[in-house]
Amino acid sequence: MPFNTISVVGLGYIGLPTAAVFASRKKQVIGVDVNQNAVDIINRGQIHIVEPDLDMVVHAAVTEGYLRATTLPEPADAFLIAVPTPFKGDHEPDLTYIESASKSIAPVLKKGDLVILESTSPVGATEQMAAWLAEARPDLSFPQTHGESSDIRIAHCPERVLPGHVLHELVQNDRVIGGMTPKCSALAISLYKIFVQGECIVTNARTAEMCKLTENSSRDVSIAFANELSMICDKLDINVWELIRLANRHPRVNILQPGPGVGGHCIAVDPWFIVSKTPEQARLIRTAREVNDSKPLWVIDKVKLAVAEFLQANPDKTAREVTIACFGLAFKADIDDLRESPAIEITQRIIAIHPGPVLAVEPNIMELPNSLNEKISLTSIQSAMNEADVLVLLVDHKEFKDMSKTLDKVHVDTRGILR
Ligand SMILES: NC(=O)c1ccc[n+]([C@@H]2O[C@H](COP(=O)([O-])OP(=O)(O)OC[C@H]3O[C@@H](n4cnc5c(N)ncnc54)[C@H](O)[C@@H]3O)[C@@H](O)[C@H]2O)c1
């Protein structure tokens, strides 16, 4: 089926690159977002997020007339929903964004349309989305009641791109295509084949949902192992970076690197979607989450010890005169994404307990988030290195890689940058 018009609902880190790549293949793309500011920026041919080369692709797509953004859904042949799926306070998945996105597109759906849920979702969310759509459009038939003869095709196709490499991975990665029926999958494949060069592998919607959660839980459990090792090694006075390097010489061992915790919108969130559905069975997955979530507190203890060490070496100073610099706020290297970042949590906690000045260095952002901006200022690497007494390395951004000359300063290195 020719997809003349494709609508991407949610123009963030996933939706905007996806919309831009469809547009770069000369498809008419309508981007929908509730954020008027994002819509205005995109319609000017600019972008509101940081992702290498995306600005050029969006600029070309908008100026050539293939991409247009709006706050109100319009008719299209395919809809891809890429809205947030956070969890609530009790770690239960919050599907309200999917609910409002699906209710917003329901009025413009027509017979033959394809609706794809791209948001990372707990098992059953695609069926839930289909139920919301069916409730809003009793005049159309849906796969849950009409199977292969339904008017509307529905699939879950999770996204597994790496921030910072999204444009390349969108095209090259294999895709899991979980249609509610085989015809739904077939139509979804024909849509993705517009730009995907990786393999499109068919399964059902529930398995596709679980596949994405499994990928991120697997990463979370592996990182928890590395983080636990770092705490064990600290107790035993062993350099964890050296230990992991040595252990990884074993041909079948590949331990990941420890860090200050686990952040981002995916790995720190998605495992809870498994735990919430199957709390009795998901014991290891829950424990890994708890290990990773506890790591920032361990780092705070290390910062307290570092300040005490500095004061011991400088008995003429008080804690009020000790300047701490936090290097990095993003949840991982070389991106501007601060969501669920352990570096933010650690910086906030340092501000709360430390009576002296705290500096933040984050080369990928222009201004601090609201949670920090009244308490500290954003500082350049050089002035933080000059002014700070205690350095706390939280992200291994490329700009920090040659900081080993600061080794003479007291530091807490959560990433092994100064090792
Ligand atoms: N960022 C990643 O690296 C990544 C990777 C794989 C999967 N995912 C998943 O993709 C989904 C989207 O993530 P993201 O990082 O793009 O989020 P994001 O916050 O960057 O973007 C989501 C966008 O959706 C918009 N939005 C919210 N409600 C809406 C609605 N009802 N209608 C239209 N727009 C709406 C928001 O304004 C925002 O611009 C999530 O489920 C996430 O878990 C993200």
Chain segment 72-106, per-residue pLDDT in tens: 999 999 999 999 999 998 899 999 999 999 999 99
User: In which element (H, E) is residue 197 found?
Assistant: none
Q: What tens digit of pLDDT does each residue of 3-35 get?
A: 999 999 999 999 999 999 999 999 999 999 999
Which region, left, alpha or beta, applies to residue 328 given φ > 0 means left and ψ of -120 to 50 means alpha? left
> Does residue 51 have its Cβ closer than 6 Å to ligand 1?
no
**Secondary structure of residue 411 in the 3-state scheme:** strand
Give me the phi and psi of 390, to 5 degrees please: -125, 125
Q: By the 8 A CB rule, do 19 and 29 touch?
A: yes
Using CA atoms, how far apart are residues 164 and 51, in angstroms rounded to an integer? 5
> Quick one: DSSP state of residue 93?
B
Residue 335 is predicted with a pLDDT of: 84
Using CA atoms, how far apart are residues 319 and 310, in angstroms rounded to an integer? 9
Of the candidate CATH numbers 3.40.50.150, 3.40.50.720, 2.20.25.90, 3.20.20.70, the domain formed by 234-413 belongs to 3.40.50.720
Buried b / exposed e over 303-317, threshold 16 CB at 10 Å, is: beebbeebbeeeeee
* Tokens describing residue 27: 């498809």
Q: Are strands 153-156 and 114-117 parallel, antiparallel or unpaired?
A: parallel
Instruction: Tell me what percent of the residues of the chain surpass a pLDDT of 90.
Output: 89
Looking at every residue in the chain, the average pLDDT score rounds to 95
> Does residue 272 have its Cβ closer than 6 Å to ligand 1?
no
Q: By the 8 A CB rule, do 360 and 378 touch?
A: yes
> Does residue 12 have its Cβ closer than 6 Å to ligand 1?
yes
Q: By the 8 A CB rule, do 105 and 9 touch?
A: yes
Q: Are strands 175-179 and 114-117 parallel, antiparallel or unpaired?
A: unpaired
* Tokens describing residue 63: 């100026």
- In ligand 1, the atom with minimum distance to the C-alpha of 13 is 16
CATH superfamily of the domain spanning 5-198: NAD(P)-binding Rossmann-like Domain (3.40.50.720)
Would you list the domain boundaries of the chain? 5-198, 234-413
Q: What tens digit of pLDDT does each residue of 35-51 get?
A: 999 999 999 999 998 88
> Does residue 120 have its Cβ closer than 6 Å to ligand 1?
yes
Q: What is the mean pLDDT of residues 168-194?
A: 98
Q: What tens digit of pLDDT does each residue of 144-169 get?
A: 999 999 999 999 999 999 888 999 99
- In ligand 1, the atom with minimum distance to the C-alpha of 14 is 16
User: Among 162, 195, 196, 202, which Cα is nearest to 178's?
Assistant: 202
Q: What is the mean pLDDT of residues 118-122?
A: 97
* pLDDT at 374 exceeding the cut of 80: no
Report the catalytic residues. 212, 266
Using CA atoms, how far apart are residues 231 and 301, in angstroms rounded to an integer? 12
